[in-house]
Copies of this chain bind each other. A is one copy, B any other.
Amino acid sequence: MKKLWDRKTGTKTNQTVENYTVGVDYLLDLELLPYDIKGTMAHAKMLHKIKILDKKELSILITGLNKILSLWKNGKFKIDKSQEDGHTAIEAYLTENCGEVGKKVHTGRSRNDQSLTMTRLFSKEKLGKIKKETENLAKSLEQQIKKQGKIKMPGYTHMQRAMPSSVGMWLGSYCDSLKDDLICLDAVMKIIDQNPLGSAAGYGENTLGLNRGFTAKELGFGKVQANPMYCAFSRGKFENLILQASSIMPQKKNYDVLELIRGNIAVFNGYQNQIENIVKNLPAGYNRDFQLTKEPYMKGIKLALDTLEVMILVIKNLETKKTNLENACSSELYATDEALKLVRTGKNFREAYQEVKEKFYQN
């Protein structure tokens, strides 16, 4: 089947160029398909509401879309490379299996509009999951703090033992950081919870009277994203916001999986960096570059979720070596405490500290 949006039928694009432009969209879109179908169903229902589709046409479309979803669940729906992406695959299926009405489902909706809606639905679900896993990780930390938190360990400055600390203080510092991250995740969720469907080709629509409030409600969005130009350029912005808010917790230890987590922070930042720089300084309106954020965005999301899951496992199975840690708490860690005791007797701090330090260095 030919690509639906080709301007001139019959032009055989050079294979090299075709491969370059298609990229891996046809693979990535397979994961996004259920979100596309959900968005398409809402659009079809709305077209019925504003009397572009009659009741029977709507019913045929919904049946067709459900059929695609069920094929997909069984691993039987494929996106052919020549179709380039999931949108074409869906429309092709509907056109071939539902007759004339398959051609109607794009009324008042551009491919870009469709794509925005699909990724927005994907984003909301994944961000919700990231939030939940972040809460789980914080919980795992709290459980470990309860269990092993009181074990003493040295606190380091400049990679040298400096002050008395504890397992609880160490784990707690990450736990508190995660709780602050949750405030960010909530703010970002609030921001992205806007319906982009109905932005049409990026400049809205004035003829049919699309009911954007209806699809917002149907898809569970908090509100309509009213400005159609903002719908378009918010895609990269929101993807960036989500990756920023879900940037992963730094970690360092001599254990394979933790070295990979450490390295993956750089990988994750690279994805974010790609998105940031793809969408920066583009001319206003739609540009094909936007398509390129899909891969780093989806990979970033997956990496964030995988890392959270692995970290939860690591924390749950964390066993600190109590004896080693406590033996490491040598007496010089308590120099400041000693000095402060002298302060209580009236000495000024600078002199008390000097006095204690000399004592420690003599020993």
Contact = CB atoms under 8 A, between A and B. Distances in A.
Interface of A: 4, 14, 16-17, 19-21, 23, 52, 100-101, 103-104, 106-108, 155-160, 162-165, 169-170, 172-177, 180, 183-184, 186-188, 190-191, 200-208, 225-230, 233-234, 237, 241, 244, 250, 252-257, 259-260, 262-267, 269-271, 273-274, 276-278, 280-292, 295-296, 306-307, 309-310, 313, 336-337, 340-341, 343-344, 348-351
Nearest to A170: B229
Given A19-B306, A100-B348, A266-B276, 9 more contacts: A16-B306, A162-B203, A163-B202, A172-B230, A183-B191, A184-B184, A244-B244, A263-B278, A263-B290
Nearest to A270: B274
Contacts of A17: 257, 310, 313
Nearest to A23: B260
A340 B281 contact: no
A351 B349 CA distance: 62
Contact of A288 (B260, B290, B344): B260
Contact of A292 (B263, B287, B292, B349): B263
A290 B228 CA distance: 33
Contacts of A286: 157-158, 162
- Residue with the greatest number of chain B CB neighbours at <10 A, chosen from A21, A159, A225, A237: A159
How many subunits of this chain does the assembly comprise? 4
A16 B313 contact: yes
B277 A270 contact: yes
Contacts of A343: 52, 104, 107-108, 208
A280 B264 CA distance: 12
Contacts of A190: 183
Contacts of A271: 270
A229 B155 contact: yes
B274 A289 contact: no
B20 A227 contact: no
- Residue with the greatest number of chain B CB neighbours at <10 A, chosen from A160, A289, A290, A307: A289
- Residue with the greatest number of chain B CB neighbours at <10 A, chosen from A175, A256, A341: A256
B203 A163 contact: yes
Shortest beta-carbon contacts, A-B, top 7: A263-B289, A270-B274, A187-B187, A266-B277, A173-B229, A156-B285, A259-B288
